[in-house]
Amino acid sequence: MKPKPYLLCETNWKTVKKTDYTIAVLPWGATEAHNYHLPYGTDNIQSEYIAEKAARMAWKKGAKIIVLPNMPYGVNTQQMDIKLTMNLNPSTQIMILRDIIDNLYDQNILKFVVLNGHGGNDFKQMIRELKAEYPAMYISQVNWYYTVPDMKKYFKEPGDHAGEMETSNMLKIVPELVLPLKDAGSGKSKKLKFKGRSEGWLWAPREWTRVTKDTGIGNPAEATKEKGKAYLKEVTNKIADYFVELYETNLKDIYV
């Protein structure tokens, strides 16, 4: 297997030295329970897969892009009563982001994408703060799980966490790490009772073990490898298109 020049984990100084990278992508996941049947690293595995496939397609179209090693810990403050959940506070996340952006800034890599694969992460306010510190830098967040607005064309019940969508993805990416679906919980969960929540204008963090018994939110019973393959193809195509568009766009001309 040849090292991929768009993956920093695999490539080498010989390649890096002669390549004028202009975009850096940081996949960011989490380490947390995903029902009974999926691994704790589910968010990391999906984010790494999507970053690699999208970068490969963009690279083939001429985009000089580098995917940084995945950040495996996310914000899991409401799941700390679940054994071996690993939490990284937002205040810690911004310090990590600042150091990474500072490295890239000094190397004149001024287009930066956080490819987020965990619902507990939200980098918007951090990016606002860091943009003021690095005004010449273009910093963006992509939540890959929002790239396909109508997931019902692929899934009967996509689910929110370890449901049909994520289980299908994992059956496509790493089927050997997925337990038989008969071992999975139903993913049945509770929601906030307040009217504002159902209308979409109220938000509060979920206390995970009060919301779900098996740590899942969404029924994985209908998941298949074929569904994951089709869905991931659309996701990676869309993100690859963004990478190419970003590569081809002058930072002085990003608004219309």
d(CA 107, CA 220): 44
Averaged pLDDT for residues 88-106: 98
Amino acid symbol at 26: L
Q: Is residue 146 part of a domain?
A: yes
CB–CB of 158/218 below 8 Å?
A: yes
Q: pLDDT, tens digit, for every residue of 189-223? A: 999 999 999 999 999 999 999 999 999 999 999 99
Q: Is residue 110 part of a domain?
A: yes
Residue 152, Cβ density class (10 Å: 0-12 exposed, 13-18 middle, ≥19 buried): exposed
Q: Is residue 1 part of a domain?
A: no
Q: Is residue 46 part of a domain?
A: yes
Q: Is residue 8 part of a domain?
A: no
CA distances from 97 to 121, 125, 156, 182, 213 (A): 13, 12, 37, 40, 34
Q: Is the CA virtual torsion 225, 227, 233, 235 positive or negative?
A: negative
Q: If you average pLDDT over every residue of the chain, what do you get?
A: 97
CB–CB of 212/187 below 8 Å?
A: yes
For residue 195, what pLDDT is reported? 96
Quick one: which of 217, 231, 226, 218 has its CA closest to 153? 231
SS3 (DSSP) at 117: coil
Q: Is residue 6 part of a domain?
A: no
CB–CB of 51/27 below 8 Å?
A: yes
Q: How many domains does the chain have?
A: 1
Contacts of 130 (CB under 8 A, 6+ apart): 94, 97, 98, 101, 137, 139
Contacts of 42 (CB under 8 A, 6+ apart): 34, 162, 166, 170
Q: Is the CA virtual torsion 115, 19, 240, 112 positive or negative?
A: positive
CB–CB of 236/50 below 8 Å?
A: yes
| 58 phi/psi in degrees, rounded to 5 | -65, -40
For residue 20, what pLDDT is reported? 97
Q: pLDDT, tens digit, for every residue of 127-182? A: 999 999 999 999 999 999 999 999 999 999 999 999 999 999 999 999 999 999 99
d(CA 153, CA 253): 35
Q: Is the pLDDT score of 1 beyond 90?
A: no
Q: Is residue 117 part of a domain?
A: yes
The boundaries of the domain holding residue 23 are 13-253
d(CA 116, CA 118): 6
Q: Which pTM value belongs to this model? A: 0.97
CATH code of the domain covering residue 156: 3.40.50.10310
Q: Is residue 60 part of a domain?
A: yes
CB–CB of 72/44 below 8 Å?
A: yes
Q: pLDDT, tens digit, for every residue of 218-245? A: 999 999 999 999 999 999 999 999 999 9
Q: How, if at all, do strands 23-28 and 111-116 pair? A: parallel
